[in-house]
Amino acid sequence: MSVAADHWLTRIRRLPSPNCDARGEGERPELVIVHCISLPPGRFGNGLVEALFLNRLDTRADPALADLDGVRVSAHLFIDRRGRATQFVPFDRRAWHAGLSSWRGRPSCNRFSIGIELEGTDTGRYTAAQYTRLGRVLADLFDRYPGLGPDAVVGHQEVAPDRKRDPGPGFDWRRVLLPLARR
């Protein structure tokens, strides 16, 4: 796996989301934001996250989905519980993942970040397969985009602390970042 010239990862599933647009002039990836998601919360492997990112989610299917009616969101990448990755937005485009956010005094993190969603909850733990895949993806991103490195990988809670808690206390930052710092 590597980041190709078209800003898509090689050898993973691609499902292009309409929920993206061009980055601002001169904007490039300088931050990776790690998120978590499951729909309905705590349920895994049902394809509903993909449906959300593709604007195909039937919000009437479960009362827990009702507040997502009309929501248009995406992430660059989704990593399921088995470690399978699906890319929705090429890395040179702005995915709609962070919302109202700020990092090191810079507002609107979507302009300069890559959003990676892990299938999970902000109160649970993540799988070994997810950590392995995330580590490989981050290494590939660091190789492709010189503005990225271990110090530019944060959780959603760090860029939107008043609104978000993900990926949560069950996420093992050392497990992901220590091997990357040694590269």
Q: What is the CATH number of the domain that holds 174?
A: 3.40.80.10
Residue 1 domain-assigned (yes or no): no
Average confidence (pLDDT) over 17-30: 96
Structure tokens at 60: 């009437």
Catalytic hit among 30, 50, 117, 119:
117
Q: What is the mean pLDDT of residues 155-173?
A: 96
With respect to residue 8, please indicate whether it lies within any of the assigned structural domains.
Answer: no
Domain assignment of residue 128, yes or no: yes
Q: Residue 10 pLDDT more than 90?
A: yes
50 counts as catalytic: no
Condensed to tens digits (0 to 9), the pLDDT of residues 40-63 reads 999 999 999 999 999 999 999 999
pLDDT at 181: 84
Domain range enclosing 147:
13-181
Q: Is residue 152 part of a domain?
A: yes
Helix or strand run (H / E) with residue 35:
strand 31-37
The whole-number pLDDT of residue 145 equals 97
Structural domain includes residue 68: yes
pLDDT digits (tens, 9 = 90+) for 99-156: 999 999 999 999 999 999 999 999 999 999 999 999 999 999 999 999 999 999 999 9
Residue 147 is predicted with a pLDDT of 92
Region of 78 (left: φ > 0; alpha: ψ -120 to 50; beta: rest) is: beta
Look at 183 and 23; give whichever has higher pLDDT: 23
Q: Does the residue 172 lie in any domain?
A: yes
Q: Measured between alpha carbons, how far is 50 from 65 in angstroms, rounded to an integer?
A: 14
Structural domain contains residue 66: yes
Is the pLDDT confidence value at 182 over 80?
Answer: no
Q: How confident is the model at residue 1 (pLDDT cuts 50, 70, 90)?
A: confident
Q: In terms of DSSP bridges, do strands 93-95 and 85-87 run parallel, antiparallel, or are they unpaired?
A: unpaired
- 8 A C-beta contact, residue 176 and residue 135: yes
Q: In the chain, how many domains are there?
A: 1
Q: Evaluate whether residue 2 is within a structural domain.
A: no
Partner residues linked to 34 by β-bridges: 116, 155
pTM of the model: 0.97
CA 106 to chain centroid, in Å, comes to 19
Secondary element (H or E) of residue 51? helix 48-53
